[in-house]
Structure 1
Amino acid sequence: MSIEAVLFDCDGTLVDSEHLTNQVLVEYLAELGHTMSVLDALDAYVGLKMADCVADLERRFRTTLPPGFVEVFRARTALAFTERLRPIDGADAMLSSLSLPFYVASSGPRQKIEHSLTVTGLLRHFPNANVFTAYEIGHWKPDPAFYRAVLSKLGLRPHQAVVVEDSVAGIRSALGAGLRTIALGPAERLSGDLASALAVPDLARATEALRRLHESPS
């Protein structure tokens, strides 16, 4: 069955934002008297809803974060993105080479997604209608309802689309919705309910995998 659409996550898939975002978070937490490593933050929060991250931080540190915490964090992250954000290696080449329709499907808010794509030079690949956000859909990864809603908006069935994701939350959401999923990163983490995802080390290999899937009869 041929592919009718490709759905890309944004953070960590198209733009190299995960480490930068969590570095901003860790530095902000340190100002508030809370110690956390960037690696621990990456392990805990990549791909998750912001409200869930805040709730976990408050449980972890047994505190209530100050009013405006999220707004300050987002503003600092936006500044860091403007100054330092780069596309994932191979992102522009992959998007430029695709003949299939493709979309961003992200748990982030639209403003953040569009800022990320703008400063990395990738926004030109995504007209406004080609971005789906959890904040507008009302479901967040790892809930499969997120990708089911995206498919519904596109008028597609699961076998007609392929997802490219980097986070466990995103991979779980896509697989749970019945989508063929290309997972950026090490294959070792793809066990249990993630085992059917196709692990690739980079976007160049993802491009090859996508081509094979498109040419496959099923």
Structure 2
Amino acid sequence: MPSPAQRFQAVLFDCDGVLVDSETITNGVLRVMLHELGWPIGVEECVDRFIGRALSDEFDVIEEHTGVRPDQAWLLEFRARRNAALAADLQPIDGAVRAVTSIAAAFDGRTACASGADRAKIELQLTKVGLADAFGEHVYSGMETPRSKPAPDVYLAAAAGLGVDPRACAVVEDTVAGVTAGVTAGATVFAFAPGGLVSTSPEALAAAGATRVFTSMAELPGLLSPTPRRPDDRS
């Protein structure tokens, strides 16, 4: 059972952009395939349109710009090319492995990874960066729930799997869709905004309902402690 001093009973992590530095890799593969369909989409537009959302939910947008509606074969090819690129080049977010290890110990293993991605991708990435054992069986895919993010389904499933009320959970996210999912589930959302092309702005994350926006994974264990230190506190 959780310590009565803890503010939360469990911590639910998104994967892409929170645990693994995958967004640039995945989005790059997608952009090449959209070019092949005849949509000369730029890097920034591709990031803005697609990061944080299930690709299968965006087929209308792709058809609108290319005249071609992606089918299952196209989606499977995308996933195969994406997975090959991730297997070759994926790295963890700086400080994520240490943060997850620390938090998992502090919460007696009541942690889960809840991603909008397909299970094969999630498991590939967690294994690649050495985090598979940190979550064990508590890996949840939005592709296996009725709705993916920004709907709350995957976070509700993760909380249920851990036997915890979602309102007693902290969620760690990095996109507006993800923050919206966590807030709608009733959780307290901590939003990661490290900066850079694929990072959502702190203002957008706060507007979506994040309770706290932070810029370094080294901060996270302290933020989840019973009485987090404010930035202006001194030891």
Could you say whether these structures have the same fold, taking a TM-score greater than 0.5 normalized by the shorter chain as the test? yes
Displacement, 1:165? Answer: 0.4
Letter in 1 for 2:55: M
Q: How does 1:113-128 map to 2 (within 5 A)?
A: 113-127=122-136
Give the conservation status (yes or no) of the 8 Å contact 1:171–1:197: no
CA distance in 2, matches of 1:87, 1:30: 28
CA contact (8 A) 2:100 2:134 kept: yes
TM-score normalised to structure 2 length: 0.83
Question: Within 2, Cα distance between the matches of 1:53 and 1:163?
Answer: 25
Other-structure match for 1:134: 142
Aligned to 1:90: 95
Shift of 1:19: 1.2
| Superposition CA RMSD, Å | 2.0
Question: 2:192 touches 2:213 (CA, 8 Å); kept in 1?
Answer: yes
Match of 2:174, as an amino acid? Answer: D
**C-alpha contact (below 8 Å) 2:179/2:189 kept by paired residues:** yes
Cross-structure match for 1:54: 59
Q: Residue 163 of structure 1 is aligned with which of 163, 168, 171?
A: 171
DSSP 3-state at the match of 2:11? strand
CA distance in 1, matches of 2:14, 2:143: 14
Distance 2:124 2:153 in 1: 26
Q: Secondary structure at the match of 1:14?
A: coil
1:183 aligns with 2:201: no
Partner of 2:19, secondary structure, is coil
Shift of 1:105: 0.4
Q: Runs ≥4 in structure 1, deviation > 6 angstroms? A: none
**How big is each residue's C-alpha offset from its partner over 1:109-145, in whole Å with a ceiling of 9 and x where there is no partner?**
1111000111222222121x21011122322110123
CA distance in 2, matches of 1:146, 1:115: 19
Structure 2, unaligned runs of 5 or more: 1-5, 194-200, 230-235
Q: Percent identity?
A: 34
Greater RCO between the two (CA within 8 Å, min separation 6)? 1
**Aligned match of 1:152:** 160
1:203 aligned onto 2:220: no
1:141-192: CA deviation from partner (whole Å, max 9, x where unpaired): 1012332333233332233210000111000110112110000114221354
So what's the TM-score if we normalise by structure 1?
Answer: 0.89
Q: Paired residues, what number?
A: 213
Give secondary structure in 2 for the equivalent of 1:103: strand
